Structure 1
């Protein structure tokens, strides 16, 4: 019997081939071994048909044609993937059975099922679940094949239902509001619109913030019979807090202080505890994107693209679009081979201890994918571009950290109880710096959440007596929340449930992500979040100002115009419930689509003729030289350079033809250079230096929304 294995991606297909004994040769994305043929998809090979592919009348947008919906949404090969689809269909004809090797999640099930359905396959199909690409795990998985029966196909059908429903939302709401506002490109989406809502709400909280004064009570306590002064800060009970966080009236604290002072000598309890702070977990894609945005200013899309290059071109890292920060036990046993290889490649050395079993090694927390870590690939590291190397090195170092000791701390806590709260003092001492001797992760990533020190003091644990000294009432002001960066935005996309007020919806969103460490009531996926942010920039709903991402007046006006069912995360929760019913055979695709139409149709009766949105529309017909790396709109050529069409809405990005830096190396920006820099963020240039011509790398960077350059030595690699 000849089997055809269809994997979801090349990395998995080649890993399966390596796990099967015997010689092999890859030809045009197909590997033949004994009585097995292995091939793979490249993500989704099929797409849903556009409305005008059903009927040409839909090419013109008209309100009377809404809602647009079809009983059967057809799938067709996506763009240049038709040849691959035909190739797989031919392989299906030649085999006796098929082994479905999509990722072990809803989307992975659908991705291969849709190919089989498009090919009208009638041959038997088995299903293999591969969570990890190590040879031992792959061999084990192939000994546990199951039938790809109706129960599994229903799981894929739920993912198809979501894809159709998303399409119906996008087509109908986007056309309705584009027509009503008389401007094209007013896109709406189940994930896009709530993400815009996060930014708009944050900006309005900041813009409308009114500073309020609040007060803290600080007082030193002199211990009797001890030469120690303890700096206490009063921690009130929650029912005393005026706004849930602060005491806004100084008189309240003065009255509490007076009551406490009625007792001349205070009883002080001193406790002591030791704690360990473990290294941050390895990266999933969202954490890596946030980290690179904070540390290096990389956009989410840039980090996504670099990880794709590291995986596909160099096989330097494991699957890059993972939502998991955990690893299998197999990775722990392989670490003594992987880490020496990685450290040699980095030319760095650390005192790793292979007996340290990090919390990241936990089979039950590995979802369809595991954390992003380096591989044993023997690629030339000097071939990496500077920014590619930065991403690779961070992935490596966060993995190396798992085998370094934790930070050890001793904390001394002194407290004086009262009816209204307690006076509390905390002092922390580092006993062992652990991994922080070598690495300094961002504070938000290192798990270090103990109380802030009120001042240094040390005492053995026990009970003491103290006399309180002069009171100090510190006046402070409330601060607005911080503007979003792409880093903080993607973190909130993974935990948007915390902003949902409806308890039922909040619980559903969290239930949806049950078992997913790093996702806690989320919208979007690791593969789509950067695209969502790029779309918001491209539409002019938001702009970048340095590292901050701000909503435009257009974005604010449009968000407030949208109906509640679209602009909140509620839709994701409600759809998930229906999708679960589809998996169990209690609902079908029509059930989900009908819920979309039911919410949409009443809006057709609304009169939006009086509604206007601010901001200058972008309707520039000039040829695009590239995409603006700041706001996502197109870059066009003008007499002075290559600028963004979104300049009237605040985007200042441009590549000037007579740039001083370029003139300094004897260059003028031309169209070919601009295209290359916008696409790859670098280009090769010939530079005359002291009568010697040399090839250099001209690298494009962005600072405060403007182009900056630097020149690097070019080392030609094989």
Structure 2
């Protein structure tokens, strides 16, 4: 019997479907000599500081730096109440461990995502306590289609081969814990007055904040300057007109308006000659296949209501539904080993397209290139064509599908024509340049109906005479840099501050693929979301800008290395090198621990300054009703409406972030709680369905007959 551990229930179901296993039991599938179980992402987490030492329950400057001699793990905490264990995680962990110990299980297979986080999730469960006395293998897949699952099970690797990947995952986890716990605590004690949300300090959070801060400062310090251009209109002997821009010493922007005005006056009615004509055919290649950052940038810039975090969630859903390949990739090319598979995917997707006769499969270095693949190939569709998708899924899937098909359409071509027109008057030192462009072959642009603007120049030859029939001096103002959007911020994070254009720098692309970046494709969206959640940045339309708190933090926080893109890039590069077996976990952690000790000392010695004052929130002690569990008084707390007898063990609570209500975009109110306690049900207006429609209903909050938990029930008025 083989036991397979998947990262999520949906993936376990995909594996069971591929193996034609229908029997589902409590926490696993069974059949055909397989047991298939699952995690819910991480089932275990690192100890909190207070779990190591009770003195860490209260934040005191003297308690830091705090670095455990041995890092320990516990069952994941309840997200609603971190003082309690997550019941679902504890139950599933027990099921998995029981299955591992079953006498008929001979082989254990980790089928978690093929990245350092997936490796960490699988290993933290399989090796919890002690290594099982059974061989452990790794299922390494880029997609969850039935064909790939079967093929992957036939080509598994020993999990020992994944030791470097696990070491990279552990190093990332421990490093972020040590930096986050120590610097967040000490910075909050130093720079915040009042109790409330901590001043979040993180390895990836700080340099990302600094990128936005620097752009804001550039805009604040920008001084606009006026400049001017001279635009002339010429006429050929055939009465065809075209425009030219005056250029002198390779410069077409002039600071002096008076100079151009004098020139404008002196050239009226003059004759001119075409002294140069260039006609050049140029090729336009399609943009590269998507990696995650490029997909997030494309979707967030093109469609309203999307954040990079939302794009990742939608892409992850498409991946788990078997419609696209692994989304958390930094690669923009495909492995050369999947040429035949890719050809099959293209054949399936091209069947119903109006331009299918133009689609031609070719193996090109632009698409298939092992040198441009790091761990996972670029994101492409699978051979399974979706029949029903949500509107968000359809939008993201179409973007991925279109980008894939573009690679196998004809290369777009256009003709570019340029003239140089010289006035007969020798007093005029410069000349006038004109450019025209005509699209010859639409090619891949058909896929997304990209319209190219043609600028057509009249047909002329060198030495042709033309007449200047009009001219004008136009006024312009230099513009400040644009504010960062999620698209531009992701690009800076991906390239560690070095901007690049497609096809421009192989060396730079190589640095990205070797891990020299800020964060990973999987974590960048989460970082941007966290910056918003903790109040360091805000959004205006699609633009990102620092809040006052974010600016004050950058200008006050004394550990400047944490804002340095190079420093953060080197840490990320260190993790990438561990993953490749080129560096040691302990050396990396020693660097992090030394940096943390030094940073804590720096913050302690820095000048005193309060940058965040948290106003104390007064919660009314109004009694809202009688506790249905013990008869105590229900009052409002910070996180929910609970029983005043909680110290005596009563756990009745209606949480303010209740997940069931959140699915209908509602939070419990005092009025709702009062109705529930007095009438056993409350009439709630303005609930929202999954399709976005508003409705009203009666809600009750009733104790489950077989356990101590309460559940919501809904009724509708006849």
Q: Does TM, normalized by the shorter one, top 0.5?
A: yes
Task: Identify the residue that residue 411 of structure 1 maps to in structure 2.
Answer: 416
Indicate which of 185, 193, 203 corresponds to 2:216.
203
CA contact (8 A) 2:414 2:439 kept: yes
Indicate which of 520, 525, 539 corresponds to 2:534.
539
Whether 1:82 and 2:90 are equivalent positions in the alignment is: yes
How far, CA to CA, are the matches of 1:206 and 1:537 in structure 2? Answer: 20
Whether 1:527 and 2:486 are equivalent positions in the alignment is: no
Indicate which of 358, 363, 368 corresponds to 1:362.
368
Within a 5 Å distance, the mapping from 1:487-498 to structure 2 comes to 487-498=487-498
Task: Identify the residue that residue 55 of structure 2 maps to in structure 1.
Answer: 57
Paired residue secondary structure (2:142): coil
Task: Identify the residue that residue 661 of structure 2 maps to in structure 1.
Answer: none
Task: Identify the residue that residue 275 of structure 1 maps to in structure 2.
Answer: 283
Whether 1:590 and 2:589 are equivalent positions in the alignment is: yes
Whether 1:106 and 2:112 are equivalent positions in the alignment is: no
Task: Identify the residue that residue 44 of structure 1 maps to in structure 2.
Answer: 42
Task: Identify the residue that residue 575 of structure 1 maps to in structure 2.
Answer: 571
**1:394-418 Cα shifts (integer Å, max 9, x gaps):** 555555555655544222233589x
Q: Relative to structure 1, is the Cα distance of residues 492 and 625 closer, same or farther in structure 2, using a 3 angstrom cutoff?
A: farther
How far, CA to CA, are the matches of 2:276 and 2:618 in structure 1? Answer: 71
**1:61-111 Cα shifts (integer Å, max 9, x gaps):** 111111121122212332442333333323333333334444444334333
Q: Relative to structure 1, is the Cα distance of residues 110 and 144 closer, same or farther in structure 2, using a 3 angstrom cutoff?
A: same
Within a 5 Å distance, the mapping from 1:231-630 to structure 2 comes to 231-233=243-245, 248=255, 267-278=275-286, 281=289, 284=292, 287-288=295-296, 290-292=298-300, 294-312=302-320, 317-326=324-333, 328-329=338-339, 330-338=341-349, 350-353=354-357, 354-357=359-362, 361-362=367-368, 364=370, 365-373=372-380, 381=388, 386-399=391-404, 407-415=412-420, 424-434=433-443, 436=445, 439-440=448-449, 456-459=456-459, 464=463, 469=468, 473-498=473-498, 511-514=510-513, 522-562=517-557, 563-579=559-575, 582=578, 583-584=581-582, 586=584, 588=586, 590-613=589-612, 621=638, 623=640, 625=656
Once the two structures are TM-superposed, the CA of residue 477 in structure 1 deviates from its matched residue by 0.9
Task: Identify the residue that residue 126 of structure 2 maps to in structure 1.
Answer: 116
Task: Identify the residue that residue 646 of structure 2 maps to in structure 1.
Answer: none
Paired residue secondary structure (1:431): strand
CA contact (8 A) 2:142 2:326 kept: no
CA contact (8 A) 1:131 1:367 kept: no
CA contact (8 A) 2:345 2:383 kept: no
Paired residue secondary structure (1:73): coil
Unaligned residue ranges in structure 1 (runs of 5+) = 344-348, 501-505, 628-633, 642-669, 688-718
How far, CA to CA, are the matches of 1:294 and 1:326 in structure 2? Answer: 23
Q: Relative to structure 1, is the Cα distance of residues 115 and 220 closer, same or farther in structure 2, using a 3 angstrom cutoff?
A: same
**1:331-362 Cα shifts (integer Å, max 9, x gaps):** 3313333455xx6xxxxx63334525497852
Once the two structures are TM-superposed, the CA of residue 3 in structure 1 deviates from its matched residue by 3.8
CA contact (8 A) 1:332 1:361 kept: no
How far, CA to CA, are the matches of 2:122 and 2:575 in structure 1? Answer: 19
How far, CA to CA, are the matches of 2:249 and 2:493 in structure 1? Answer: 32
Task: Identify the residue that residue 182 of structure 2 maps to in structure 1.
Answer: 172
Whether 1:214 and 2:209 are equivalent positions in the alignment is: no
CA contact (8 A) 1:103 1:368 kept: no
Paired residue secondary structure (2:489): helix
Once the two structures are TM-superposed, the CA of residue 19 in structure 1 deviates from its matched residue by 5.6
Paired residue secondary structure (1:189): coil
**1:264-303 Cα shifts (integer Å, max 9, x gaps):** 8663031221434536745736524651453222233334
Once the two structures are TM-superposed, the CA of residue 214 in structure 1 deviates from its matched residue by 2.7
CA contact (8 A) 1:673 1:683 kept: no
Once the two structures are TM-superposed, the CA of residue 45 in structure 1 deviates from its matched residue by 3.0
How far, CA to CA, are the matches of 2:246 and 2:70 in structure 1? Answer: 65
CA contact (8 A) 2:297 2:488 kept: no
Task: Identify the residue that residue 657 of structure 1 maps to in structure 2.
Answer: none
Paired residue secondary structure (1:198): helix
Paired residue secondary structure (1:76): strand
Q: Figure out how many residues of one structure are paired with residues of the other and give that number.
A: 615
Paired residue secondary structure (2:435): strand
Q: Relative to structure 1, is the Cα distance of residues 378 and 173 closer, same or farther in structure 2, using a 3 angstrom cutoff?
A: same
Paired residue secondary structure (1:498): coil
How far, CA to CA, are the matches of 1:218 and 1:605 in structure 2? Answer: 62
**1:235-258 Cα shifts (integer Å, max 9, x gaps):** 7779x79xxxx6646699899999
CA contact (8 A) 1:164 1:593 kept: no
Q: Relative to structure 1, is the Cα distance of residues 573 and 323 closer, same or farther in structure 2, using a 3 angstrom cutoff?
A: closer
Paired residue secondary structure (1:523): coil
How far, CA to CA, are the matches of 2:508 and 2:613 in structure 1? Answer: 34
CA contact (8 A) 1:565 1:599 kept: no
Q: Relative to structure 1, is the Cα distance of residues 201 and 256 closer, same or farther in structure 2, using a 3 angstrom cutoff?
A: farther
CA contact (8 A) 1:317 1:375 kept: yes
How far, CA to CA, are the matches of 1:68 and 1:57 in structure 2? Answer: 11
Paired residue secondary structure (1:429): strand
How far, CA to CA, are the matches of 2:519 and 2:134 in structure 1? Answer: 35
How far, CA to CA, are the matches of 2:431 and 2:513 in structure 1? Answer: 37
Paired residue secondary structure (1:43): coil
Q: Relative to structure 1, is the Cα distance of residues 590 and 429 closer, same or farther in structure 2, using a 3 angstrom cutoff?
A: closer
How far, CA to CA, are the matches of 1:684 and 1:476 in structure 2? Answer: 50
Q: Relative to structure 1, is the Cα distance of residues 375 and 640 closer, same or farther in structure 2, using a 3 angstrom cutoff?
A: farther
Whether 1:130 and 2:141 are equivalent positions in the alignment is: yes
Once the two structures are TM-superposed, the CA of residue 567 in structure 1 deviates from its matched residue by 2.0
How far, CA to CA, are the matches of 2:36 and 2:671 in structure 1? Answer: 53
Q: 57-66 or 608-617: which moved more?
A: 608-617
How far, CA to CA, are the matches of 2:555 and 2:208 in structure 1? Answer: 13
Q: Relative to structure 1, is the Cα distance of residues 574 and 281 closer, same or farther in structure 2, using a 3 angstrom cutoff?
A: closer
Give the root-mean-square deviation of aligned CA atoms: 4.8
Structure exhibiting the larger radius of gyration computed from Cα positions? 2
How far, CA to CA, are the matches of 2:69 and 2:313 in structure 1? Answer: 36
Paired residue secondary structure (1:201): helix
Unaligned residue ranges in structure 2 (runs of 5+) = 77-85, 423-428, 620-637, 641-654, 659-664, 673-681, 698-718
CA contact (8 A) 1:412 1:459 kept: no
Paired residue secondary structure (1:682): coil
**1:449-482 Cα shifts (integer Å, max 9, x gaps):** xxx98x531548x855667958755432111122
Task: Identify the residue that residue 699 of structure 1 maps to in structure 2.
Answer: none
**1:422-444 Cα shifts (integer Å, max 9, x gaps):** 86432111234445556346x9x
How far, CA to CA, are the matches of 1:483 and 1:561 in structure 2? Answer: 23
How far, CA to CA, are the matches of 1:59 and 1:481 in structure 2? Answer: 46
Q: 60-69 or 354-363: which moved more?
A: 354-363
CA contact (8 A) 2:225 2:477 kept: yes
Q: Relative to structure 1, is the Cα distance of residues 557 and 485 closer, same or farther in structure 2, using a 3 angstrom cutoff?
A: same
